[in-house]
Amino acid sequence: MAEKKGDIGLIGLAVMGQNLILNMADHGFTVVAYNRTVEKVHAFLSNEAKGKSIIGAVSIEDLVSKLKAPRRIMLLVKAGNAVDAFIDQLLPYLSKGDIVIDGGNSEYTDTQRRCKELEEKGLRFVGAGVSGGEDGARYGPSLMPGGHSEAWPHIKSIFQSIAAKVDGQPCCHWVGSDGAGHFVKMVHNGIEYGDMQLIGEIYHLMLAIGLDQSEMAYIFEEWNKGELDSFLIEITKDILKFKDADGKYLLPKIRDAAGQKGTGKWTAIAALNYGVPVTLIGEAVFSRCLSALIDERQTASAQLPGPTTKFSGDKLKFLEDCRQALYASKIVSYAQGFMLLREAAKMYNWSLDYGSIALMWRGGCIIRSVFLGQIKTAFSKDPTLKNLLFAPFFKEAITKAQSGWRNVVSTAVNIGVPTPALSTALAFYDGYRSKRLPANLLQAQRDYFGAHTYELLGQEGKFIHTNWTGRGGNISASTYQA
């Protein structure tokens, strides 16, 4: 009897790859598994995959030969050169209409390039953001596929079956053409950076006002029952409660130098490239960079003075203010993220469904939180919504939070606790709601030293240069608008 053909092949048997394969098999799909180190394939089949509808492959040619047409092959390998290398190895064995899916954290510009290159060869390429970590991969991730739309009907049933479900709806929908899926995943990761930094700053403030870890854990547990209900708040509570083998809390023993894999940085770079003020995510990235200067910080802590003021207020009132500040700043973070999505959609002619994106993030992913449903509602009511801050729900929420938010930022400044993300969120909010900003002075300065010109109020579109000193000429430089 001929061997049963696989519905999909997967290359890369690290934990994420293995868990995704097991998830697919649990949902009735036959998966062909391959890894560059073939011993991993044999070990997987003998252990976790034993008895399941999973077929091993010992080479790329073997993998392709064991798949139904059109062949669907998913890569879960390190982003960058490894993806290109595996695509090059696959090409000799693929046929017109076959589908290659990159499920790693690839940079969206690479996905755009790969889409174009594979289309020229008659192949279909999908760049799929996968979020949720190891647990999500095993039991239901958030999936954000984009690329060649002709591929979607062939992978839809697999992806939507294995995805997380919220209210019966899969956290997976087609995002858009070429790099749209990976761009949305990049912004998701940028928001994740921001959320984690905000929570870290609140933790730092809790330490500064003298709370112990059991008190902090209780507060985060209570917060997770309300507006801040989210995966990151939940795991923060668990981390605060966790004790090492010696019975002491583990968290204070962990070295305070944060790592990063690049997606937050890519979000900040994209924001700069497209002129979108995604300031909170930018600060979150720079905060990780600052944390990495741990040796310099030790030296600076002994030499550079700070305020001598200590917190002396009502702790319970201040903790409620912290909750409000965290909530308001999270709203700003998502508002900035969707601003960046909207600008990229214009740039690349992507037809992004912002409500659908919010639904994809409601389950299975790291930034899943209760208020994503409100983002979906906001875009359903007004698909042309320019900014989440204009939606009635978020406008009311941020109005209620303002007093506490401002008190937290000012208190942090007075007692010398750095709150770059909380502060920049508030600064963005105040800048965004300002009818007038001091950019008129910036324009005058630029014209003074560089003849860059400016526009007068009521004469927009007409660029003027002034000879400010009487010594300059009347020739202007090229205009620059941002």
**Both tokens of residue 105?**
């954290």
Q: For 130-179, give the DSSP string.
A: EESHHHHHHH--EEEEEE-GGGHHHHHHHHHHHS-EETTEESB---BSTT
Q: How far is CA 338 from CA 30, 54, 227, 353, 393, in A?
A: 37, 39, 20, 11, 16
273 marked among binding-site residues: no
Residue 399 marked ligand-binding: no
Amino acid type, 198: L
Is 268 annotated in some ligand binding site?
no
Whether 462 is catalytic is: no
Tokens at 144, concatenated:
């954000």
**Is 204 flagged in the annotation as binding?**
no
35 is in an annotated binding site: yes
Structure tokens at 471: 């010594």
Q: Is 436 annotated as belonging to a binding site?
A: no
Q: Indicate if 215 belongs to the active site.
A: no
Q: What are phi and psi of 34, to 5 degrees?
A: -140, 145
280, 333 contact by CB (below 8 A)? yes
Contact 356, 299 (CB under 8 A): no
Whether 12 has a binding-site annotation, put simply, is yes
Residue 37 known to bind ligand = yes
Among residues 66, 107, 192, 265, the one annotated as catalytic is: 192
Q: Give 432-437's long-range contacts (Cβ < 8 A, gap of 24+).
A: 432/387, 432/389
131 is in an annotated binding site: yes
Q: Which of 40, 66, 107, 185 is catalytic?
A: 185
446 annotated ligand-binding residue: yes
| Residue 193 annotated as lining a ligand binding site | yes
Ligand-binding site membership of 342 (annotated):
no
Q: Is 13 annotated as belonging to a binding site? A: yes
Q: Is 315 annotated as a binding residue?
A: no
Distance separating alpha carbons of residues 427 and 380, to the nearest angstrom: 29
For residue 465, what are its two tokens? 């240069």
111: closest CA among 175, 173, 182, 190?
182
The answer to whether 255 is a known ligand-binding residue is: no
Annotated binding site: 12-17, 35-37, 77-79, 105, 131-133, 188-189, 193, 261, 288, 446, 452
Q: So which residues are the catalytic ones?
A: 185, 192
Annotated binding site for substrate: 105, 131-133, 188-189, 193, 261, 288, 446, 452
Annotated binding site for NADP(+): 12-17, 35-37, 77-79, 105
